[in-house]
Structure 1
Amino acid sequence: MAKRLNLILLTVMVVSLVLLGCTSKETATKSSKDGPVTLKFMGWEASPLETESVKNGIKKFEETHPNIKVEYTPVPGDQYASKLLTMMAGDAPPDVFFLGSVDYRAFQERGVLLDLSTYFENDLSIDDFIPSSADIMQIDGNIYGVSSCTVSPVLYYNKEIFDKAGVPYPPSNPDEAWTWDKFASVAQDLTVKEGKKITQFGTYGFETLANTVAAITENDGSIFNDEYSAVNMNSQQTKDVLEAILALKKDGVSPEAKLLEESGMSASQMLQTGKIAMLIDGSWSLQQLSQMDFPVGVAALPKFTQAVTNGQAHVHAASVNTEYPDEAWEFISFLSSEDYQIDLINEGLWMPNRASLYTEEGIDKWFNEKVHPAGFKELVPYFQAANVDPFAKIGKNQVDDIMIEELDKFWYDNQPVEDVLANIDRRVNEELTKD
């Protein structure tokens, strides 16, 4: 009888301990949900201005979401992807992070991104977004990252140089974009020499890969096949564009990148100080250029056969292992909202990814006369109708590095265009077929 009583008491104690453990676990879980959740957020620092803008957006989010705190870590852009991969390999990734469009599909194939499709379908519609942004975000019909803007290559110019030379400004209206021949002719006219030394170059920037690709697109060329499974650059359209860009350098109209390095100035500073008259760069540069105390203009790229540009931008994604998927979505959703992006568009950093912000009423929400130059509204449809950047559609993020390496042999080592394109064909297709 005593043994039976002891057994009953022992059973009661064990059950009580189990129940106590369950209760404690439930209480802890409930407490973590009831108290503020801290999300670790990581992005790259393209410039101090951009980092400040992102931090201001985070403050706005926290004011309206008291249940969530955000710890933001900006990382230098050239170290970003490798640091993110290292953190993931160490099982310590941030909850939410920037992901470059060129890396998006590669990371998704690794299985490290939280599938946001259900959240997205409940709160948003793919039809809310302009075509290039919608195309980038969708992977086999699912959403693993959400964009908060779009950016595109455009033509910047120093108005003072044009005024001094009595040359009309490049058109903002894409329908009136200069032909390539007109652009090259003006660039030649605006190149100034003192003896044998060039003191003012007509233009700079087309040999940057993104800008080269935009020019190829304007000449009805393509980078990949329709399935994005093989490179498709080895064409007459591509050769014509590469030769036209190289001619700018051979004629002394466009400086080599090493000249900028030796001068200690960025391309934006070269434009500001009158060292170059026209600069091909991303639309994000307007934020900095608009604060550099000189009259900057923005125009459509010179065209070969059509006036188009390419559109892309980073997405915001969440780790598949985040402890707070609901809160991560709340933050990602905010980062794609009008409330977040309007301030950064107003500052000249981005262009909107939402179709609603391209209407007359929508443009009034973000247009800033102190930042956006005269004629800028004519350029707005250019961003809305941009082609998707081709590198955002492939799952191999080494491809652009291969192309840069090979094209540099053409720009700087005098290798024949046929050899360079043949090498790109071979090396890129090898990369695209890797498991």
Structure 2
Amino acid sequence: MRRNIQAVLLLSVAILLLLMGCEGKGRPTKDERDTSPKDISLDNKVVTLTFWRNSGNKAENYAYESLILEFMEKHPNIRIDMMPFPYADYDTKLRTAVATGNPPDIMAIDAPSLASYAQAGALMPLTEHYRTDGNLHDIPTSTMEGYTYRNDIYLAPLTESSIAMFYNIKMFEKAGLSLPSSDPNEAWTWEQVLEAATKINDPDEGVYGIDPAQGFQNAGATAYFKYPIIWQFGGDVMNEEGTSARGALDSPETKQALTFYSELFTKHKVAAFEYPLDAFPNRKLGITIDGTWTLAHIAENYPEFKLGVDFGVAPLPKGTRQAVANGSWALGISAKTEFANEAWTFVNWMTSYEGLMIYSRITGDIPVRYSVAKQFEKLNEYPLNIFVVQNQKYGRPRPITPIFPQMAEAVKDLFEDVTLQQRNVDDAVEEAIIRIDKAYVDSQRLSLQ
């Protein structure tokens, strides 16, 4: 009876995929087929693994359910007991479970949280597993850097999200501007963007030149949208070890980035402190930095605002180099699990070629594996190819540090201080460094107690 139900569910997945029109480009090559993990030998005993994750949207939830169903068909000796939790509660529940010594066998963790879990000894290193049958060659090195702490890999990634520059074609044409290149490797400089924003800007008509980083949001959004600006100018937020902001946040390049950003609002006045709701599709904003999700939002809510006619997409601007933040939710294995090999079998299959083909077909997300991304025509065509190539070639992990929340909050406040409060950049940076470095020292002191 169970197999009949599973067959019906799998058939439903197939029907959904056809309706979504997300067919692959063709059969994978032998090298691509080899990215699926090798099965391990299990005895007849059924092992049950607990798996915690944050509850996502309908497509994400359906993808996980479908993958688990298929995995258990392939591995009848392993049962996956998945427990999704509301996003707002998830991290607190997971940290509590870890602290009380009762964590799940497998857990979903957001990339910026990696270091705190790894430092606490909560995660099993995956380095040797990846070297043996994780097919590391199929994932960008910069992507895996975001899941590595002190030379060990701790998380297995599934997908990426990314941001790019959206621009109003008709505003550009009216201002006599050339359109930006759609080539992911030919980004405009920030100076070119400033020139365009200045010509488009028309405060009397309620038209703004640019929203450079989705306004002033929470610390997480700051990290995703504003750190790339620092990197693009050649600066950084913390040292490579993730122990101090000294020498990085106070570098001339970082201060140049902060100054440029703040002057978009204060000197050039091409950016606003507040924007009307959906200013870009409502034709009140010439340029905005936004993510892949915006394409679906515009198509669903503003169908008359058409890609290629009313707006276009270009790679993120650059200073001295191109850069975009990478890293998303990934799967880790508890250091306390009694079933390490079985847990790796599950995690490796979920993040393999086969698993990611299923996941990406259902969700439409950008897969981390080169081999999977190649199989979807839409990901290799404009505009989605911009997001894909940027992540593969110019992606950078957000600072890998056990004090990421405290650091992110300090950097958020730094951007607000130099822009909203118009504080002296040197003073604001020094204050942020003191906060960040103190947070790290305090965290080490607590870990020794």
Q: TM-score, normalised by structure 2?
A: 0.74
Offset of 1:160 from its aligned partner?
A: 6.0
Offset of 1:413 from its aligned partner?
A: 2.0
Report SS of the residue matched to 1:301: coil
Is 1:411 the counterpart of 2:419 in the alignment? Answer: yes
1:213 maps to what in 2?
A: 227
Stretch deviating more after TM superposition (203-212 or 324-333)? 203-212
Query: 2:260 is matched with which residue: 244, 251, 254?
Result: 244
2:137 maps to what in 1?
A: 127
Instruction: For 1:343-358, list aligned pairs within 5 A.
Output: 345=360, 350-357=365-372
1:21 maps to what in 2?
A: none
1:71 maps to what in 2?
A: 82
Cα distance per residue 1:185-244 (max 9 Å; x no partner): 22233334446xx25553342663332221121112122234433211112222221122
Query: 2:393 is matched with which residue: 358, 364, 385?
Result: 385
Offset of 1:333 from its aligned partner?
A: 1.1
Cα distance per residue 1:81-122 (max 9 Å; x no partner): 223212323444333222122110110111111233443343
Q: Which amino acid aligns with 2:438?
A: E
Query: 2:320 is matched with which residue: 296, 305, 327?
Result: 305
Cα distance per residue 1:386-414 (max 9 Å; x no partner): 243241x2232221122212332223222
* CA distance, structure 2, for counterparts of residue 305 and residue 84 of structure 1: 40
Q: Which amino acid aligns with 2:306?
A: P
Gaps of 5+ in 2: 1-42, 216-221, 445-449
Cα distance per residue 1:293-327 (max 9 Å; x no partner): 34344321111122232322232112223354333
Report SS of the residue matched to 2:280: helix
2:435 maps to what in 1?
A: 427
Report SS of the residue matched to 1:222: coil
Is 1:340 the counterpart of 2:355 in the alignment? Answer: yes
Cα distance per residue 1:353-396 (max 9 Å; x no partner): 22435xxxx52x02327xx76354366432212243241x2232
1:101 maps to what in 2?
A: 111
Query: 2:282 is matched with which residue: 258, 273, 277?
Result: 273
Q: Is the 8 A contact 1:285 1:349 kept in 2?
A: no
Alignment CA distance shift 1:279-1:323 (3 Å): farther
Q: Is the 8 A contact 1:174 1:308 kept in 2?
A: no
Report SS of the residue matched to 2:86: strand
2:403 maps to what in 1?
A: 396
2:271 maps to what in 1?
A: 254
**Structure label with greater radius of gyration:** 1
Q: Is the 8 A contact 1:44 1:98 kept in 2?
A: no
RMSD after superposition: 3.3
Gaps of 5+ in 1: 1-31
Cα distance per residue 1:104-143 (max 9 Å; x no partner): 0110111111233443343224333211122223334433
* CA distance, structure 2, for counterparts of residue 90 and residue 226 of structure 1: 31
Aligned residues: 384
Q: Is the 8 A contact 2:138 2:369 kept in 1?
A: yes
Bigger fraction of residues in helix: 1
The percentage of counterpart residues that share the same residue type is 21
* CA distance, structure 1, for counterparts of residue 296 and residue 60 of structure 2: 8
1:173 maps to what in 2?
A: 183
Q: TM-score, normalised by structure 1?
A: 0.76
Offset of 1:422 from its aligned partner?
A: 0.8
Offset of 1:73 from its aligned partner?
A: 0.5
Q: Is the 8 A contact 1:153 1:282 kept in 2?
A: yes
* CA distance, structure 1, for counterparts of residue 174 and residue 101 of structure 2: 59
Q: Is the 8 A contact 1:158 1:274 kept in 2?
A: yes
Q: Is the 8 A contact 1:206 1:245 kept in 2?
A: no
Query: 1:235 is matched with which residue: 251, 254, 277?
Result: 251
